[in-house]
Structure 1
């Protein structure tokens, strides 16, 4: 109940410390708290770095897949143009054959 400032509870016992020892204990506590806060700060910083890394990786993957889609669309367009050209050539050759057959017949 009436605990003096120099008293410190260890388990169920009350230990009396000198003022200097009490100061050292307070310093040690403050240091531990600072270390804990620093650890939390580092953990948050690390988590932030990991989140940034993940975001960058996701963006890079998205950009890469978008680029691949563009390349695939370009290849499809070129293939369609080539097919159209081949169809025109076949049609003109057929027309020439019909004309030659009509002229020869």
Structure 2
């Protein structure tokens, strides 16, 4: 299985090599669980970080997450062909939470 995914975007305000608790809430590909807490990614801390990083560009965040949702769907379907989450579940997980903060 190849690891041909784009690199995660740079983290605003963090120097390369500096480790913080917020930074560790990244997806473990191809299973798409959080590396730090083990929950489905994007977990709550990742959502908070992403919302903060993309505060000036919510449309860019939505496009970024949509791409990751498609990647996750492909990888999860390859790994778990009979039990992978349905498309609607992935949509709610990756994009559905974006509307919560805009109301």
Shorter-chain TM-score range: under 0.3
TM-score, with structure 2 as normaliser: 0.27
TM-score, with structure 1 as normaliser: 0.26
Where relative contact order (Cα < 8 A, 6+ residues apart) is larger, the structure is 2
